[in-house]
Amino acid sequence: MSTLMAASRDASWYDCPDTTTVKVMHVARVYELDDTVWSARCNRRTPLDETVSRPAEEVPAGLRCQRRGCRELWPAEAARS
């Protein structure tokens, strides 16, 4: 079974991308035919930047996308002692 991955939105194609705020992480959908095409589970038209990807369980709760599609797939956070 593969690891559930998360990544942030790819804004490199914008003329002036907003780099002043922290962006949420989305659960990634990786297309089987071409592993280089990533999109968000909450919106397949949202391209993701795989260069800043990480395993989904490493994403802090405050940075997790809460839209339908991503929200249901986030792993439960480990209890903190």
| pLDDT tens track, the chain, 81 positions | 368 999 998 877 778 877 777 789 999 987 766 666 788 999 988 888 888 889 999 999 999 999 999 999 999 875 554
What pLDDT was estimated at residue 12? 76
Is residue 75 in a domain? no
Is residue 38 within 8 Å of residue 28, measured between CB atoms? yes
Q: What are phi and psi of 72, to 5 degrees?
A: -70, -20
Is residue 30 in a domain? yes
Task: State which residues form the domain around 55.
Answer: 5-59
Is residue 73 in a domain? no
What pLDDT was estimated at residue 72? 94
Q: What does the alpha-carbon distance between residue 25 and residue 41 come to, in Å, rounded to a whole number?
A: 11
Domain count along the chain:
1
Is residue 19 in a domain? yes
Cα angle for residues 79, 2, 38 (degrees, 5° grid): 100
What pLDDT was estimated at residue 66? 96
Q: How many CA atoms lie within 13 A of 60 on its CB side?
A: 4
